[in-house]
Amino acid sequence: MVINIVTVKSGWMLARKAERIAAANKSDYQMNVSHKRRNDVDANCYIDISNCYRGKTKVLDIGYFTHLHENSLEYLNNEWLTLDYIVHMCKRYYEMFKGVCLASARSGTVRVINM
């Protein structure tokens, strides 16, 4: 399996996290870090959703979500709900997204995961 970790071009904390995830990979999966999504891999993993995810690809799309501006659902981008999986770094956003997904037509298709 080939996983493309998509992140921003900066020394920002999440870009460093993406590099560390790829460097720590001890599995049989091949992981690379890039700044663009790809369709010639098995999965794109976006670290972070807000700045990297630009819509569904032909492969598995996984997003790592950090926070909503002002902790408000008004700032939730409905395009994020087209991801196959959303991994949340805290329970607050996991619960918020789970509620939105259950109320939407995407219920049962987008999976929200709490770390």
Residues 29-64 pLDDT 10s: 999 999 999 999 999 999 988 889 999 999 999 999
Give the residue from 104, 90, 7 showing the smallest Cα distance to 113.
90
More confident residue, 67 or 24: 24
What pLDDT band is residue 72 in, cutting at 50, 70 and 90? confident
Residues 74-85 pLDDT 10s: 877 888 888 988
Taking 50 as the threshold, does the pLDDT of residue 17 lie above it?
Answer: yes
Q: Kindly report whether the global pTM for this prediction surpasses the value 0.85.
A: no
